[in-house]
Structure 1
């Protein structure tokens, strides 16, 4: 209809391994009038989706191209190696990068881990995605080092994983176009950071309660407690200290 306003909405992108359920639930409780749409994106395309205004904000894996984008780091993930269940490393609790030296370690094109020196021996070709690399691990072609959430996301009964403590860690951040920090974006930042409704930016704080008049306060202080007389000692009948002795009566002349 000509001249009608487009109803507000909020588009939230997220990369594999991120579970935005909790934050979406809080949004729906606070901003019921603004529907939230989830958009699944790959780790490699996330920054371009935000920069091209394909989403208002998004959960991304760092590092990303920060040109024209703002980002708030949220948490860091542990890194694991995905292996067949019958692999010799399945018998230990954790694996070092040096332990992978003799194995083929797959390096998918959507990998975001930043290594100074990648462990293991490289495969002849790089898999296109992490999902493709998982299939190759299951086929016995090589091993895969990934953030733990991705190992869980692509879980298979014939595979398992072990922590790699000395491997680089993956950081998750909330990102958005820096020149599009709208009220809705501010509201979502507040939700992710755990702000309450009244403390969220862009919201009107609860007004302070007016102070009571001075005369009312003074009257309340002067009012005696229930069942007690004011300023009088029940034993002496006067305002003196409790337990005070009465003086002897004088002699009559």
Structure 2
């Protein structure tokens, strides 16, 4: 394998640590560069070869890309810790009826008839929206990983049980892949190190003389075992 680097882009809240650790164990000679990318730019970064592969959320424009589903994120509502909804462990869409909700310009959750009542002002980023939640302007609906990423002591979040989840996928260009990308895809898919592409050790064929010597050694070892005295070989009393 050629010793250069592999670049992995990941959107905010993405969790590439597990795969990065496995990569480092299997290919310590090839650095894995982790580059944060915005949700809006993640797919373009792959198409423009800024990154080799990317962890991104759907829905997204993945034209020209191949994707592998990774996991589904729980959708949650972020609210102040003293909010009425914080009194329960989980909520439903009905619980958000009439609740002011913030919709940042980089919103990553899109579905028809989203719960709550959007406020007129749209903050530029999810991080900005978190600040407005803390100020009491409304709730924020996000994937759980983003709620954890922007955690504050004065905020909490509750899972919404009856809304779509947020799919996270691995994206890479369509078509044949370079060896390093294939190796990373294998890790993501759970391929064991012994079965990784390009990792199999070549089988060394023995010469006829080496085979003969091995057989003679095996026979000699077997003869020693056969001659070893057992209980039946002990002298009579």
Larger Rg: 1
Residue in 1 that maps onto 2:165: 169
Structure 1's consecutive aligned runs of 4 or more residues displaced over 4 angstroms after TM superposition are 207-223
Whichever structure has more helix as a proportion of its residues is 2
- 1:115 to 2:117 alignment: no
Query: Any gaps of 5 or more consecutive residues in structure 1?
Result: 1-5, 235-253
Could you say if the C-alpha distance between residues 9 and 227 of structure 1 is closer, same or farther in structure 2, counting changes exceeding 3 Å?
same
How many pairs are equivalent? 227
2:193, 2:199 within 8 Å by CA — same for their partners in 1? no
Pair 1:227 & 2:229 matched:
yes
Q: Which runs of 5+ in 2 are unaligned?
A: none
Q: 1:217 deviation in Å?
A: 11
How far residue 78 of structure 1 moved from its aligned partner, in angstroms, is 1.0
Equivalent residue number for residue 141 of structure 2: 145
Q: 1:136 aligns with which of 110, 125, 132?
A: 132
Q: Give 1:144 shift.
A: 0.7
Shift of 1:189: 1.2
Aligned to 1:35: 31
RMSD, matched Cα: 2.8
Q: How does 1:228-243 map to 2 (within 5 A)?
A: 228=230
Task: Give the structure 2 partner of residue 20 of structure 1.
Answer: 16
User: Residues 71-102 of structure 1, C-alpha deviation per residue, up to 9 Å, x if partnerless?
Assistant: 11111111111000111111111110111011
Following TM superposition, by how much is the alpha carbon of 1:37 offset from its aligned partner in structure 2, in angstroms? 1.6
Question: Quick one: distance in 2 between partners of 1:225 and 1:159?
Answer: 79
Deviates more, 1:22-31 or 1:182-191: 22-31
The reply to whether residue 80 of structure 1 matches residue 76 of structure 2 is yes
Q: Deviations over 1:34-77 (max 9, x none)?
A: 22221111112100111111101111112221211111111111
Does the aligned pair in 1 maintain the 2:11–2:37 contact within 8 Å? Answer: yes
Give the match for residue 57 of structure 2. Answer: 61
Residues 68 and 171 in structure 2, CA contact (< 8 A), matched pair in contact too: yes
Q: Residues 77 and 140 of structure 2 are in contact (CA less than 8 Å); yes or no, is this contact kept in structure 1?
A: yes
Identify the residue that residue 200 of structure 2 maps to in structure 1: 205
TM, length-normalised to structure 2: 0.84
Residues 48, 180 of structure 1: alpha-carbon distance in 2 compared, 3 angstrom cutoff: farther
Higher relative contact order (CA 8 A, sep 6+): 2
Residues of 1 paired with 2:228 and 2:184: CA distance?
52
Q: 1:215 to 1:32 in 2, by over 3 A?
A: closer
TM-score of the pair, normalised by structure 1 = 0.79
Classify 1:208/1:129 alpha carbon distance in 2 versus 1 (closer, same or farther; 3 Å): same
The separation in 2 between residues aligned to 1:209 and 1:100, in whole angstroms, is: 67
- Are the aligned partners of 1:114 and 1:168 in contact in 2 as well (CA < 8 Å)? no
Alpha-carbon distance in 1 for matches of 2:227, 2:91: 72
